[in-house]
Amino acid sequence: MLVQQRTIKQPVSLSGVGLHTGQMCTMTFKPAPENYGIRFRRVDLGGSPEIPAIVDHVVDISRGTTIAIGEARVQTVEHVLAALVGLQIDNVVIELDANELPIADGSAKPYVDVLMKAGFEMQDSPKDYLIIDETVHYRNEEKGVDIVALPTDDYRITVMVDYHNPALGSQHSGLFNLEKEFVSEFAPCRTFCFLHEVEELHSQGLIKGGNLDNAIVIVDRELDDAEIKRITEKLGVKESVILGNNGVVNNKKLHFKNEPARHKLLDLMGDLALIGVPLKAQILAARPGHASNIEFARMIRKLYQQKRLVKRFQYERKEGVVFDINAIKKILPHRYPFLLIDKIIDFKLDESIVGVKNVTVNEHFFEGHFPGQPVMPGVLILEAMAQTGGVLLLNGLENPGDQLVYFMSIDKAKFRKPVTPGDQLVLELKMVSRKGKICAMTGKAYVSGTLVAEAEMMASFVDRNNTPRPKGGNGSKEQTGKEVRTSTH
């Protein structure tokens, strides 16, 4: 696999009709600078808005993948994205004068052909590979879908499909070498559907640009001549139609015996491109479809965002540690004697976090709380929870050091057992909800597996440079009626 990013050398264009809308569209691929990514640009709309090819922007998966920002939409992006992944193109702008890409022959080959004519240009920046180093598993039991990402130092995909149809049977296919196999073995594989789906899709207002040249139609039921005539007239199909003895309408010759499985692999490649970075992983997929592909892509993108966040603050990788004390000091503004967590040992972006506080006899508060019977104040256990929660709230903050996180409320706080010198506090925080700058969390503190404290918390982000000072002093607590607001970060 390539080490450096690359784009194309010159603009190239392709025109055709959209599969579902039936509208004509001209698309133009243009070179893009390093770290620009893949973006679609709607030149037919005012301001020529751009939509980055990121799974966060997926808005529809009705027989294809649609991305949008506001009023700007682009439909059926999976085939062109698969072409870009297969050719290892990182940065490109795709200009469109309509909202759906040309379907061409229903494969990725037309896109591959024009991109290869454009030529490729290596760029100085290295590729930002997401290296899968742990198993990631998606399962939809209702639909019988399983997709797994396994660690490997390459990019490989294996797909199995089973539609319980005699024309297809069970099929599988695998791509093991991107450079050698994609262009010849997978790019030419066309989209397909069953005959019974054609009428359903037409009734839903889809496949307005569909015909027997841009899709493989598989026969899945017995039809007499009258029924065939009815269907063709309803769909506006002008060419003659026969029920092929190979299970495909008009006996259309397949490029490969397992072309449907290969096309499903192509779709999966395109949908996973929406992770936003190239992968080094072994992907195993059973009965995938656009809905499951997108859910899996969301899981992997979240993993990428988490790894990128960790890498930003934790320079040295340590076994069993996500953020060490040096990383925590980059994230939180607290310092001695009020920095109350020593390390983060587990971190799931926007979900949960586990911090550790080693409680020693040297803690400043033990001198007065209490002489001869040292006990960690309950309010400081809550503060340690809150600081751990502050790290959990990293996502979405461009510059964490410019923000403070203030308590809005503490509810249902319970202290079940004293914490004394020599104890190790394990602080588990879970995100309950997050809306704008307000978030709710639950926290639990353990010592040797025993619950010692718990609480529900609500907090809000504040700009550090515009933080109002409490009247009457510089303390971190402001008494307002019965509510105590505690400054934490």
pLDDT in tens, 187-240: 999 988 777 666 676 666 665 566 666 677 776 666 666 766 666 665 555 555
How confident is the model at residue 462, as a pLDDT? 79
**Radius of gyration for the chain, computed over Cα atoms and rounded to the nearest angstrom:** 28
The string of pLDDT tens digits covering residues 389-407 is: 989 987 755 566 667 778 8
Residue 62 has pLDDT above 90, yes or no: no
Token pair listed for 76: 């059926």
How confident is the model at residue 28, as a pLDDT? 98
Token pair listed for 312: 């930003």
Q: What is the mean pLDDT of the segment spanning 438-456?
A: 97
Q: What is the mean pLDDT of the segment spanning 337-341?
A: 96
How confident is the model at residue 30, as a pLDDT? 98
How confident is the model at residue 478, as a pLDDT? 35
Q: Where are the beta strands (DSSP E) in 97-253?
A: 120-126, 130-131, 136-140, 145-150, 155-162, 170-175, 192-194, 216-218
Residue 98 has pLDDT above 90, yes or no: yes
Residue 165 has pLDDT above 80, yes or no: no
Q: What is the mean pLDDT of the segment spanning 238-254?
A: 59
Token pair listed for 372: 């001869």
Between 408 and 252, the more confident residue is 408
Residue with tokens 């340690």: 384
* Longest CA pairwise span in the chain (Å): 97
Helix, coil or strand: residue 268: helix
Between 390 and 252, the more confident residue is 390
- Give me the phi and psi of 368, to 5 degrees please: -115, 0
Query: Residues with Cβ < 8 Å from 357, sequence gap 6 or more?
Result: 340, 341, 342, 384, 424, 425, 427
Token pair listed for 326: 């040096």
Rounded Cα–Cα distance for residues 488 and 70 (Å):
36
Token pair listed for 29: 């691929």
Helix, coil or strand: residue 440: strand
Q: What is the mean pLDDT of the segment spanning 375-392?
A: 95
How confident is the model at residue 300, as a pLDDT? 97
Active site residue 172: no
Runs of H (alpha helix) within 236-289: 259-272
Residue 477 has pLDDT above 70, yes or no: no
Rounded Cα–Cα distance for residues 102 and 19 (Å):
7
How confident is the model at residue 194, as a pLDDT? 75
How confident is the model at residue 120, as a pLDDT? 98
In order of 172, 197, 264, 290, 479, the CA distances from 287 in angstroms are: 10, 17, 9, 10, 59
Residue 310 has pLDDT above 70, yes or no: yes
Q: What is the mean pLDDT of the segment spanning 124-146?
A: 96
Q: Give the number of other Cβ atoms within 10 Å of residue 477's Cβ.
A: 12
Among the residue ranges 117-131, 202-216, 275-289, the one predicted with the least confidence is: 202-216
In the 8-state DSSP scheme, what is residue 184? Answer: I
How confident is the model at residue 288, as a pLDDT? 96
- Give me the phi and psi of 355, to 5 degrees please: -115, 165
Rounded Cα–Cα distance for residues 147 and 161 (Å):
12
Catalytic residue among 79, 290, 334, 489: 290
29 sits in which H/E element = strand 24-31
Residue 472 has pLDDT above 70, yes or no: no
How confident is the model at residue 475, as a pLDDT? 40
Residue 321 has pLDDT above 60, yes or no: yes
How confident is the model at residue 405, as a pLDDT? 79
Active site residue 20: no
Distance of CA 322 to the CA centre of its chain: 21
How confident is the model at residue 237, as a pLDDT? 55
Helix, coil or strand: residue 466: helix
Token pair listed for 463: 């700009």
Rounded Cα–Cα distance for residues 195 and 278 (Å):
36
Cα dihedral 147, 150, 153, 158 in deg (nearest 10): -40
Confidence of residue 484 (pLDDT cuts 50, 70, 90): very low
Q: What is the mean pLDDT of the segment spanning 35-46?
A: 98
Per the prediction, the chain carries an average pLDDT of 87
- What pTM did the predictor assign? 0.83
Token pair listed for 371: 């002489």
Catalytic residue among 172, 202, 255, 369: 369
Q: How many residues does the chain have?
A: 489
How confident is the model at residue 479, as a pLDDT? 33
Domains of the chain and any CATH numbers: 4-190+260-308 (3.30.230.20), 192-254 (no CATH), 314-488 (3.10.129.10)
How confident is the model at residue 486, as a pLDDT? 32
Token pair listed for 263: 């096309």
Helix, coil or strand: residue 377: coil
Token pair listed for 228: 């065939």
